[in-house]
Structure 1
Amino acid sequence: MSQPSGADVVVVGAGIIGAACAEALSAAGVRVIVVDRGAPASGTTAAGEGNVLVSDKEPGPELALAIASRREWPAVLARLPERTADVEWEDKGGLVVATTDPGPLAAFAQKQQAAGVDARVITPADAFELEPLLTRAITAAVHYPEDAQLQPVLAATALLAGVRARGGQVRAGVTAQSVLRDAGGRVIALETDAGTIPCGAVLNACGPWAGSFGAAAGAAIEIHPRRGMILVTSPLPECVKHKVYDADYVGAVGSGDAELQTSTVVESTRAGTVLIGSSRERIGFDDSVRVKVLRELARKAVGLFPFLGEVAVMRAYGGFRPYAPDHLPVIGADPRIQGLWHATGHEGAGIGLAASTGRLITELFLGLEPHVDPAPFRVDRPAVIEAMEPTP
């Protein structure tokens, strides 16, 4: 059975990346349908902290994308329907601290400054002015005024509302199965469990499941799940004013180690709760609760903010980040199948990178001048696909 209407692009995945791509495409006049096997924003996006960061990335392609995306997010939010535009955006800034040797943190900040990041090396006394409840064991700190935060589910929902407002569709509970191609090998439709959707292109924005959908479509890519856990406290009076994390966080983000890694990340939400992270672990799609991970997160958080030792934890949650072996997102057209595109592999940075990812996909799709260099994120790089032979 075929659906009566098609689209220029069908986006598979209604998380923050799929929603941002669909919104940017629809804003440019492209007819879009978004499908998701579950509810919109119910997968990886629902398990995110909402970070829009420039502070945690080494100079290079991902940092360039992060800087561009930080600038892009306000423009994206400004064009969304007013009734959905409140996504709890906060220009709160970030604070990175060290409790051991201060040298590496200062050196990292210096490299970021050279790359265009507003990274302000401050004294421990200055850090206590910004965050009075910090441990007095701080030896160094860097203030990042550009770091921001939003509520990821609200953001994805608002982006999808923008798609609908321009005539696009969002179809929940529809599982994408494969793509249909014409005699020349070009994509002409998406096959789903609810029927076939005619289209000119399919965008794989399936997050940690992007590798599976790519394989089903005939163009496998190396994307794997990397699990993370977060603790949530009971609501508190204002106590943590910035996103605060220890200097180990940068190393954990960039590591390819499959074993458990934890680093302290503490931030408040508009609701008054405090989010405590973060962990990284490559254990497939195992979603069992691991008490040792939660215990480690709590121990490290108390080391950074001692007052948390007296605060009740309300709940814990976890999710799977889409991990690419070279730690770079996959953004662009698949050279093996004409009309198949990918936007995935952002790991824990998807919320922050979503705005520029959507813009870049749109620029590439329409043949416009890209606002960032797309080459580092191309699909046909060694870490993502094994060979370039056309798929039969």
Structure 2
Amino acid sequence: MRNPDVVVVGAGVIGAACAEALSAAGLRVTVLDRGPLGAGTSAAGEGNVLVSDKGPGPELDLALASLRRWPDLLADLGADVEWDAKGGLVVATGAVEPLLDLAAAQRSAGVDARPLTPAEAFDLEPHLTRAVVAAVHYPQDAQVQPVLVTKALLAAVRRRGGVLRPGVRALGVRLAHGAVAAVRTADGDVPCGAAVIACGPWSGEVSAAFGAPVSVLPRRGVVLVTAALPPGTVRHKVYDADYVGAVASGDADLQVSTVVEATAGGTVLIGSSRERVGFDASPRVEVPRALARRAVGLFPVLRDVPVLRSYGGFRPYAPDHLPVIGADPRRPGLWHATGHEGAGIGLAAATGRLLAELVTGADPHVDPRPFRVDRPGVCA
């Protein structure tokens, strides 16, 4: 068997998207993951594909590029990944100006953001609290089943002759003339011409082992899952206006903002929480209580609906809230694709394409400079 051109370390949605795009560009790819494929952060998400939660700037540019890419990519994959172009609704029950100002700025950047009166919001979501005083509708927002889309991307890699190796821990790199020549694993070296670290919240740990540390930290989040409700009870992804502030915050303390959306099976997902507690997965009863209380405030119809379970995960968090995508100048042949926090599903399509363009020397379809590895605060 011929050696791979590129080894991708990490089989979550970002690693899978990078591997898919690299294999589509004609490169031989091997994907390594220390655990099962797609079983880390990607399996603990809601599957958000959002533009509504991002202000103008590089991340929104990447999100819009990804949104444009997803339809063609999913058609190429030929798999049912429960894509739902449901749209988003952001509501305010207090100050209106921040929500409307953000929507105006987003429109200037190419987002379809439509201000609504409370009555118009209730037409879209009849079960919303009547405390809503303003809303913005985002028709471009969508949802996908994260495990299904990750598996579909990896299946495409395998069809093109790529190799998937779950249960293989990457330990570092072997260099030749200062450049990456192989990825060292517990099962032996994997010779290659390039390596991509796409390990989500574990990227800080793995990059340090590879001799090129980046400042990517875990940020824990919890999601509640309710019993199935009648179709149409919750029709869009609905969240309160303080969600955007929570996403952009670097505060280590627990933050809770209300996010409510239905799944294809009729269950309702309730989020979102954010806290920096390292990799501590200990259950904390105050988190689901806070999520449930705020969700009922947004949708009173949920008051007597049973919560079947909760699940949590760790999101990869960069200090400046931007993904890390590109070559590492400290290690020729080493690349990074990480730091997407809770936006990895939505940003995956454009991230994979951008990474493949940079590796192959093609013209990048979005400006890669804001995501460079050697920007301030990222190189550890």
TM-score range, shorter chain: over 0.9
SS in 1 for 2:5: strand
- Matches for 1:198-213 after TM superposition, within 5 Å: 198-213=191-206
- Taking the aligned partners of 2:293 and 2:361, their CA distance within structure 1 comes to 50
Aligned to 1:360: 354
Aligned to 2:376: 382
2:109 equivalent to 1:112? no
CA contact (8 A) 1:120 1:142 kept: yes
TM-score of the two chains, using structure 1 as the length reference: 0.96
Pairing partner for 1:234 from 222, 227, 244: 227
SS in 2 for 1:45: helix
SS in 2 for 1:86: coil
2:227 equivalent to 1:221? no
- Matches for 1:11-160 after TM superposition, within 5 Å: 11-80=8-77, 82=78, 85-160=79-154
SS in 2 for 1:143: strand
> How far is 1:103 from its partner?
1.3
Pairing partner for 1:190 from 172, 183, 189: 183
Output one character per residue of 1:211-257: Cα deviation in whole Å (capped at 9) or x when no partner: 11111010010000000000000112111110000000000000000
CA contact (8 A) 1:5 1:197 kept: no
2:158 equivalent to 1:164? yes
Aligned to 1:249: 243
- Matches for 1:291-302 after TM superposition, within 5 Å: 291-302=285-296
Q: Structure 2: which amino acid aligns with 1:334?
A: D
- Taking the aligned partners of 2:159 and 2:151, their CA distance within structure 1 comes to 12
- Matches for 1:320-359 after TM superposition, within 5 Å: 320-359=314-353
Q: Structure 1: which amino acid aligns with 2:194?
A: A
- Matches for 1:311-326 after TM superposition, within 5 Å: 311-326=305-320
Q: Structure 2: which amino acid aligns with 1:292?
A: E
- Taking the aligned partners of 1:362 and 1:34, their CA distance within structure 2 comes to 15
Aligned to 1:262: 256
Aligned to 1:389: none
SS in 1 for 2:330: coil
- Taking the aligned partners of 2:76 and 2:188, their CA distance within structure 1 comes to 33
- Taking the aligned partners of 1:307 and 1:195, their CA distance within structure 2 comes to 56
Aligned to 1:282: 276
- Taking the aligned partners of 2:84 and 2:135, their CA distance within structure 1 comes to 21
- Taking the aligned partners of 2:375 and 2:253, their CA distance within structure 1 comes to 25
SS in 2 for 1:240: coil
Output one character per residue of 1:275-314: Cα deviation in whole Å (capped at 9) or x when no partner: 0000000000000111101100000000000011110000
- Taking the aligned partners of 1:5 and 1:124, their CA distance within structure 2 comes to 61
> How far is 1:76 from its partner?
1.0
- Taking the aligned partners of 2:132 and 2:270, their CA distance within structure 1 comes to 19
Output one character per residue of 1:129-173: Cα deviation in whole Å (capped at 9) or x when no partner: 100000000000000000000000000000000000100011110
> How far is 1:79 from its partner?
1.0
Q: Let me know the Cα RMSD of the aligned residues.
A: 0.7
- Taking the aligned partners of 2:214 and 2:98, their CA distance within structure 1 comes to 35
- Taking the aligned partners of 2:198 and 2:60, their CA distance within structure 1 comes to 21
Output one character per residue of 1:44-71: Cα deviation in whole Å (capped at 9) or x when no partner: 0000000000000011000000011011
TM-score of the two chains, using structure 2 as the length reference: 0.99
Output one character per residue of 1:167-218: Cα deviation in whole Å (capped at 9) or x when no partner: 0011110001000001x21101011111111100000000000011111010
SS in 2 for 1:78: helix
- Taking the aligned partners of 1:268 and 1:194, their CA distance within structure 2 comes to 43
> How far is 1:5 from its partner?
4.3
Structure 1 stretches of 4+ moved >4 Å: none
- Taking the aligned partners of 1:103 and 1:379, their CA distance within structure 2 comes to 36
Q: Structure 2: which amino acid aligns with 1:53?
A: L
- Taking the aligned partners of 1:166 and 1:154, their CA distance within structure 2 comes to 19
Structure 2, unaligned runs of 5 or more: none
- Taking the aligned partners of 2:3 and 2:53, their CA distance within structure 1 comes to 40
- Taking the aligned partners of 2:377 and 2:109, their CA distance within structure 1 comes to 25
Structure 1, unaligned runs of 5 or more: 387-392
- Taking the aligned partners of 2:218 and 2:139, their CA distance within structure 1 comes to 31
- Taking the aligned partners of 2:71 and 2:178, their CA distance within structure 1 comes to 39
